[in-house]
Amino acid sequence: MSNEPRRAYLALADGTVFSGTAWGAAGSVTGEVVFTTGMTGYQEVLTDPSYFGQLVTMTTPHIGNTGINGRDPESLDSRPRVSGFIVRDPSPVASNWRTVEDLDPYLARHGVVGIGGVDTRRLTRHLRDHGAQNGCIGTEAPDSLVDRARAAPSMAGLDLVAQVSPKSRYAFTESREDWAVPFGGDRPFLASGRATGARFHVVALDFGAKRHILRCLVDAGCRVTGVPASTTAEEILALAPDGIFLSNGPGDPAAVTYAISTIRGLLGKRPIFGICLGHQLLALALGAQTFKLKFGHRGLNQPVQDLVSRRVEITLQNHGFVVDVASLAGRAHSTHLHLNDGTSEGLAIPDARAFSVQYHPEAAAGPHDALYLFERFTAAMTEAA
């Protein structure tokens, strides 16, 4: 990092300005300002396609101390997907045996504008009180940045899936065993489904899928074919899948009308498992409704209760929209609720062998409490065979 950091500002659409120092790529950027409460996993955050179009605030202060490695990117092309990055204390030194690059040059190389030295506690409280809103990071005069923040498009009504979904079909074969370091001795992190051969063919509708979710499907014994979000129901069924996976992704689910139509055409034809945006789109395909949360759920410490077992899971989440629980009545069973605000975290349609969760059960970076959901999906495919 430079010995003479440039002064930079984060300006919110409501006129609030936070000062700091320029970091990462030069220039300025607009987007929705949000915060994530995870204490670790900043590389996963940077590369999660669900953060596309957002200026992400890390609530933990010390960021960059473990550098960047080649194993943890979540986007399939390994590139960062956030629009901007906001931190308190960017570390000038990286110390980790897997590090291949420092964070500052990594951000600069990929064109991600960052700002360091921000009072992120004050910013987080402000977003909690006033809601997530558009902002602009830059080195220009604050008044100019405020004007740009106000002119940026609202996340509500915005289809961002088209900008992160792949353009063509692909096969995904990585397992978690390829990624993980053994905990000790010869014991692998998680047994790979490849050891006994893939038992199921799963077509993944890729709305901005995280790499680790697809690894978990492989480990569960699935041969995974990823397809663009614009793929029709007829085209998916022509691939002869045993099951269909609906991935995570960015933006307003109600704006992804083509995917909603596709899912509607798939219901009851094959077992379906959805995560995050996939959960919201499945609900919309049923005729339920979604709405935007005040500041969203983002972080790897979100409490969720399974309404059947009454078990509480600590989960990884990243979403600003949510399914209206009341609108599910008569359409699907509500299976999981967020314990902080009672919002929808899961649904099931037993007659159609379809289910989904709002949170991310793949544990990257996050707790392992919900890995059983991948086995639930394979059990549904076994029953349907």
Answer yes or no: do 296 and 378 share one domain: yes
Label residue 367 by pLDDT band (50, 70, 90).
Answer: confident
Q: What is the pLDDT of residues 141-151, one digit of tens each?
A: 999 999 999 99
Position 181 scores a pLDDT of 56
Q: Answer with the one of 130, 151, 172 that is the final residue of a domain.
A: 151
Q: What is the pLDDT of residues 153-181, one digit of tens each?
A: 999 999 999 999 999 999 999 988 766 65
Least Cα distance to 153 among 222, 85, 54 occurs for: 54
Q: Answer with the one of 91, 126, 151 that is the final residue of a domain.
A: 151
Position 185 scores a pLDDT of 39
Position 164 scores a pLDDT of 97
Label residue 220 by pLDDT band (50, 70, 90).
Answer: very high
Answer yes or no: do 126 and 185 share one domain: no
Label residue 196 by pLDDT band (50, 70, 90).
Answer: low
Answer yes or no: do 102 and 220 share one domain: no
Domain boundaries, position 214: 161-384
Instruction: Cite the active site residues.
Output: 276, 360, 362
Residue 113: give its domain's CATH number.
Answer: 3.50.30.20
Position 188 scores a pLDDT of 38
User: How large is the average pLDDT for residues 98-117?
Assistant: 96
Answer yes or no: do 327 and 202 share one domain: yes
pLDDT at 183 over 90: no
Label residue 3 by pLDDT band (50, 70, 90).
Answer: low
pLDDT at 126 over 60: yes
Position 38 scores a pLDDT of 87
Q: What is the pLDDT of residues 281-314, one digit of tens each?
A: 999 999 999 999 999 999 999 999 999 999 999 9
Mean pLDDT of the chain: 93
Handedness of CA 89, 95, 96, 101 (dihedral sign): positive
**Is there a domain that residue 1 lies in?**
no
Residue 345: give its domain's CATH number.
Answer: 3.40.50.880
In sequence order, which residues have a C-beta less than 8 Å from that of residue 283 and are 6 or more positions away?
289, 290, 323, 327, 328, 331, 332, 344, 347, 356
Answer yes or no: do 102 and 223 share one domain: no
Answer yes or no: do 143 and 211 share one domain: no
> What pTM, to 2 d.p., does this model score?
0.94
Helices 277-286 and 257-266: crossing angle in degrees, nearest 10, is 70
Answer yes or no: do 376 and 345 share one domain: yes
Cβ(100)–Cβ(43) below 8 Å:
no
Answer yes or no: do 15 and 123 share one domain: yes
The kind and range of the H/E element at 30 are strand 29-36
Position 224 scores a pLDDT of 98
**Is there a domain that residue 247 lies in?**
yes
Position 2 scores a pLDDT of 47
Answer yes or no: do 147 and 182 share one domain: no
Answer yes or no: do 168 and 121 share one domain: no
* Total of domains in the chain: 2
Give me the DSSP letters along 194-247: GGT---EEEEEEESS--HHHHHHHHHTTEEEEEEETT--HHHHHTT--SEEEE-
Answer yes or no: do 129 and 179 share one domain: no
